[in-house]
Chain A
Amino acid sequence: MFGLPATTTAIMVGVLGFWVVYTLVFYFTTGGWSVEDVDKDTGEVTR
């Protein structure tokens, strides 16, 4: 792809893809963290 050797393409796409998946998994599996968001001014939990 793009004139690169297959190994280079596989490593580049594979590792960059891993980070994208890692980021999305991190984001979507941590939705529950919002329960500890306390407004500093009011002391109320914000949603």
Chain B
Amino acid sequence: MSIELVFLVLYFAAMLGIGVWAARRKSATTEGFLLADRSLGPAVTALRLQSSSMSGYMFLGAGSLGYSQGYFGMWYALGDVGGGVLNLSILGRRMRKLSAMLGSITSIGYLEHRYPSPWTRAIAAAVALFCMFFYVLAQFLAGGQGLAMVTGLSVDVSMIIAVSVIIGYTFLGGYLAVAYTDFVQAIVMVIGMLWILVATLQYVGGLTAGHEQLAAVDADLLTMWGVDQQYLGEWGVIIGAVLIFSIGYMGWPHVNVSHMAMRQPSVARRAGLYATGFNLAFIPAAYLIGMMALVIVPNLDNPELAIFEVAATVLPSFALGIVMAAIMAAIMSTADALLLQAGTIASHDLWGRFRKGAVDERSSVNVSRITVLVLGVIGVVLAITEPPGVFSIVVFATSVLGAAFVPVYVCAVWWKKANTPGALASIVVGTVAAVTAQLTGSSDSIGFDPMGIGITCSVIAIVVVSLLTQRSSPVPEHVLVAVEEAARVRPVPARLAAGEDPTLASQLPDLDRR
């Protein structure tokens, strides 16, 4: 067994150990399973939020973009660096308070409680599942390609092995297990990425020397405007690149659930510090290594393997093993968080919510597992028969999620006039606009990023429709009171705590189901 495989096996064993430990600790309640009993501190909140949202993309998509477009790719990084603190500062504290007052335990269920209607949950769940499938697909592709690099097996076989491990791991435990494994993964990811970066810069003779060699390949790579300066003056595309991973995060249900799991609302403060620190160390490095790959390993057939190929060239074999294991585990960790959320949406937000009659724990868990399996099988078949690029999938899923959900999550806590018809219109219009813009190639045809188009449409929809329907569909009084209370900086009065106010108690899920 090669040293890379030894480290990979050791790493998986360590993650499994954390999973078993967390599974033993987890509460018997649904809130415990899905939100870790709202017990997470700032470090776990911040690093879980960051690692679960970017790992597969960062090791393949970001490197590929740096390799193909040079410093233009940094527009994505520049937005991404602020994504965590922006999300935590705008949504974190208020969403934590409001979700607790409304008795919400899933990020989709939270939307139904804030915008009361079964349609809110049904439409939001369908859109979220659709996008998460593509995001999971990107992780499968990343996992397969990474494992193929380590083992020398074919990408198809490696992907089947990687997906099998991911699915098996996802069955292990609930949110607590995922949160703590993600926390450890995040630390290892940043160490691994910085290790590759330092070795890369040593290999090319330093940052300045690396830039000079890059300029010799193509001086445009050092500008922010891409090869042949093709994006010079294309501000619609550039602003979209900055926004996609900065405000786009606020529309990701599987990321926003982090706010709901915080121990206290003020956890968002320190979590913001940690998130920015992590992002500064981790994100630009991925794009920079991708660029330096042009100097170190030119003429790559698959640019998405740029970071893997650079690591294999500049690192000694023992270090390569550690870094590869970390990369693989990080990819898999993201996938298990996504699959857990997808399974939760299917079992809790759809099956548990809409099935008539009592839903027992076994059937709920079965629905969750069947969802994970179906997503896994379809994902593998699609990845093997017609594999798209990791970067393009992630950008597609992010654009649609951002356009569909950013306005409804932001308005939920910041605009008390936002009502159910406005939210429904915003989700539908944002999704349709973003998908249409993607399919018609709006970036090339009219110079505007799909998420920018989608989010503009969804913002207009929620504002216009909410204002037009204030009389026919007023925001319920108990929701108004909760939103106003979430805005105030004071402990939540006991009468507003979920379950104690009779107008809110009806929204509580049946915790006895688990």
User: Does B509 belong to the interface (CB within 8 Å)?
Assistant: no
- Establish whether residues B276 and A19, one from each chain, have CB atoms under 8 Å apart when the complex forms: yes
Chain A positions 11-47 with a Cβ under 8 Å from a chain B Cβ? 11-12, 15-16, 18-20, 22-23, 26-27, 30-38, 40, 45-46
- Please give, as numbers and ranges, the residues of chain B lying within 8 Å of A46 by CB-CB distance: 264
Query: Which chain A residues border B207 with CB–CB below 8 Å?
Result: 2-3
Instruction: State the interface size on chain A (CB cutoff 8 A).
Output: 29
Return chain B residues, CB-CB under 8 Å to A3. 207-212, 215, 222
A19-B81, A26-B89, A36-B265 known; A8+B224 contact, CB < 8 A: yes
Contact present for A16 and B280 (CB under 8 Å) = yes
| Shortest distance from the beta carbon of A1 to any chain B beta carbon, whole Å | 9
Chain B nearest Cβ from A41, distance in angstroms: 11
Tell which of B396-404, B438-446, B468-476, B489-497 binds the partner. Answer: B489-497
Task: Please report the C-alpha to C-alpha distance between residue A16 and residue B269 in the assembled complex, in whole angstroms.
Answer: 19
Pairwise interchain contact B264-A5, C-beta atoms closer than 8 A: no
The answer to whether A19 and B85 have CB atoms under 8 Å apart is yes
Taking a contact as CB atoms under 8 Å apart, the answer to whether B71 and A8 are in contact is: yes
CB <8 Å contact, A36 and B223: no
Q: Smallest CB–CB gap between A44 and chain B, Å?
A: 10
User: A47 CA to B93 CA in the complex, in Å?
Assistant: 17
CA distance A34 to B42 in the complex (A): 13
Taking the closest CB of chain B, its distance from the CB of A26, in whole angstroms, is 5
Rounded to whole angstroms, the CA-CA distance of A8 and B490 in the bound complex is: 44
Task: Give B215's nearest chain A residue, CB to CB.
Answer: A3
B78 contacts partner chain A, Cβ-Cβ < 8 Å: yes
B270 at the interface (CB under 8 A from A): yes
- B490 and A20 form a contact (CB under 8 A): no
Instruction: Give chain B interface residues in 199-244, CB to chain A under 8 Å.
Output: 207-212, 215, 222-224, 242
Q: Is the CB of A27 within 8 A of B490?
A: no
Q: Could you say which interface size class chain B belongs to?
A: 35 or more
Contact B208 A2, beta carbon cutoff 8 Å: yes
* Contact status B78-A16, CB under 8 Å: yes
The residues of A that contact B81 with a CB separation of less than 8 Å are: 15-16, 19
Please determine whether B273 and A5 come into contact, CB atoms closer than 8 angstroms.
no
Residue of B nearest to A16 (CB): B81
A36 and B276 form a contact (CB under 8 A): no
Interface residues of B in 20-45 (CB under 8 A from A): 38
Contact between B222 and A23, CB atoms less than 8 A apart: no
* B457 interface residue (CB < 8 Å to A): no
Bound-state CA distance A20–B276 (Å) is 7
Instruction: Tell whether A26 pairs with B85 under 8 Å between CB atoms, given A2-B207, A3-B215.
Output: yes
Determine how close the nearest CB of chain A comes to the CB of B55; give it in whole angstroms: 20
With a CB–CB cut-off of 8 A, which chain A residues contact B266? 30, 33-34, 36-37
Taken together as a complex, chains A and B put the C-alpha atoms of A30 and B71 apart, in Å, by 35
A27 and B269 contacting across the interface, CB-CB below 8 Å: yes
**B290 part of interface (Cβ distance < 8 Å):** no
By the criterion CB–CB under 8 Å, are A36 and B492 in contact?
yes
Among the listed B223, B280, B284, which residue makes an inter-chain contact with A5, where contact means beta carbons less than 8 Å apart?
Answer: B223
> Which A residues are in CB contact (< 8 Å) with B489?
32-33, 35-36
Q: Give A27 to B276 CA distance when docked, in angstroms.
A: 11
Instruction: Kindly provide the distance from the CB of A13 to the nearest chain B CB, expressed in whole angstroms.
Output: 11
Task: Give every chain B residue within 8 A of A23 (Cβ-Cβ).
Answer: 82, 85, 272-273, 276
CB of B84, distance to nearest CB on chain A (Å): 9
Would you call A5 and B269 a contact (CB within 8 A)?
A: no
Give complex CA distance A7, B224 in Å: 8
Q: Say which residue of A11, A27, A36 sits within 8 Å of B270 (CB atoms).
A: A27
Interface string of B255-289 (1 = CB under 8 A from A): 00000000111101110110010011000100000
CB neighbors of A among B49-87 (8 A): 71, 74, 78, 81-82, 85-86
B89 / chain A contacts, CB cutoff of 8 Å = 22, 26, 30
On whether the beta carbons of B208 and A26 are closer than 8 Å, the reply is: no
Nearest residue, chain B, Cβ from A12: B74
- With A22-B85, A36-B491, A38-B264 given, name 7 new contacts (CB 8 A): A3-B209, A3-B222, A19-B81, A22-B89, A23-B272, A30-B266, A37-B491
10 A-B pairs closest in CB distance:
A3-B211, A33-B266, A19-B82, A23-B276, A15-B78, A3-B208, A37-B264, A26-B89, A23-B85, A36-B491
> Can you sample 27 A-B contacts with CB below 8 Å?
A2-B208, A3-B209, A3-B222, A5-B222, A5-B223, A11-B74, A12-B74, A19-B82, A19-B279, A22-B82, A22-B89, A23-B273, A26-B85, A26-B272, A30-B266, A31-B269, A33-B266, A33-B269, A35-B490, A36-B97, A36-B266, A36-B492, A37-B265, A38-B491, A40-B263, A45-B491, A46-B264
